[in-house]
Amino acid sequence: MPLSHLTHLECSICGERHEADVLQTICTACGRALVARYDLTSAARTFSRESLAGRPWNMWRYAEVMPGDVSSPTTLGEGMTPLLSTPRLGAHAGVPDLWVKDEGGNPTGSFKARGLSAAISRARELGVTDLGVPTAGNAGSAAAAYASRAGIRAHVAMPDDTPSTIMAEVQAYGAELTLVKGTISDAGTYIAQRAAEEGWFVLATLKEPYRVEGKKTMGYELWEQFGDLGDGLPDVVVYPTGGGTGLIGMWKAFDELEAMGLIGSERPRMIAVQAEGCAPIVRAFDLRLDRAEPWEDAQTLAPGIRVPAPFADDL
Ligand SMILES: *Cc1c(COP(=O)(O)O)cnc(C)c1O
C-alpha cells in the first residue's frame, strides 16, 4: 500500500498552517475548524482508478489521501457501501435516475464509522488514552466501537431521549455513557468540561481535524462507483445534514480529485437536507446569512440530524 501524503493542517477560515504530527483540535489563531492538507502532486503519481482496483475493500484504500499510518489503521471494515439504483423510489419521488448510497451497512450502522475510524486511528497514533465524544447518538456508537478496537477509553455523552438501542450499544462496547438533558449542544458543554478536568481528547464534530477525513471517503466512493458505471459524478447529491461533516468532506474529496487531475471543475449540486424541527443551516441559507443562528427547541424523529448549532456552520 502507498503511504499517506499528509503534509500539514490548515485553518479552513484564516488559512493558518498547523503541524499535523501532534494532537490538534481547532485553529489556535482564530478558533475555527482545521482541515488536513496533502501533497496531491505526489499523491497523484500512484492514485488512479486502476491502482485502486486491487486494494482493500474499505475506505483506507484511498491511502495517499488518508491521514497517518495508513498501513495499520483502526478499522472495522468501514466504507465501500453499496450504491443502489432505486427506480421505484425514484418514480415515486419524480427523480428518474435516483441512487441511494446505503451507509447503513457500515460497522455500528451509520457513516459515523468512517469519521471515527479516521479520527481514532490518528488519536491512537498520537498517544491518546481517553477520548470524549458528545453525540446525537450514532457517533457515540461508532466512537465506542472504534475506541474499543484501538484499546482507548471512550467517554460518550448524549441526550437522554436518544434511542435506547444506541445507549445499549455504547455500553456494550465498554464506553462510559452519560445522559444529558437537551441536545448534542448540551452534551458538548458537558464533555468539554469533563475533558478539561480529566485530560481527555475531544472528538466533537469538526473541532478535531480527522473525522472529516473519514467522511470524505463517501466522495471518493461516489467518484469510483459512478465512474465504474461510466457516469462521472452524480448531478446532485442530497445529504441529511447535522454537523455537516459528510457534506464538507465530500466537497473536499471533489477538490482533491480535481487537484490530482482525476475530475474537472464541474461539481454535483450539494443539497443539505434538515428536519423541519431543526433546520439551522437551511434557515441561514434561505436568509443568505454566513453564520447560522442556533435553532431553539430542536425536535425531530431523526436523532442523527438533531444538531441545533453546528460548529462549522460557515463551511
Ligand atoms: C450524523 C448523522 C447525520 C448527519 O451527518 P453530518 O455529516 O454530521 O452532517 C445524518 N444521518 C445520520 C443517520 C447520522 O448519524
CB contact set of 104 (below 8 Å; sequence gap of 6+): 81, 110
pLDDT at 78: 98
pLDDT at 229: 85
The three cell numbers of residue 306 are 438533531
Nearest to 116 by CA among 156, 71, 81: 156
Pocket test for ligand 1, best of 81, 216, 305, 311 (most atoms within 8 A of CB): 305
| pLDDT-flagged residues of the chain (< 50) | none
pLDDT at 16: 98
pLDDT at 294: 97
pLDDT at 228: 84
pLDDT at 262: 96
Q: In 117-189, where do the E strands start and end?
A: 130-134, 153-159, 176-180
Distance 104 CA to ligand 1 centre (A): 11
- Sign, Cα dihedral of 315, 263, 76, 198: negative
The verdict on the CB of residue 217 being under 6 Å from ligand 1 is: no
pLDDT at 141: 97
Q: How far apart are CA 175 and CA 163, in angstroms?
A: 17
The verdict on the CB of residue 138 being under 6 Å from ligand 1 is: yes
pTM (two decimals): 0.97
Other Cβ atoms within 10 Å of 40 Cβ, number? 19
pLDDT at 1: 82
Query: CB burial class (10 A; 0-12, 13-18, 19+) of residue 90?
Result: middle
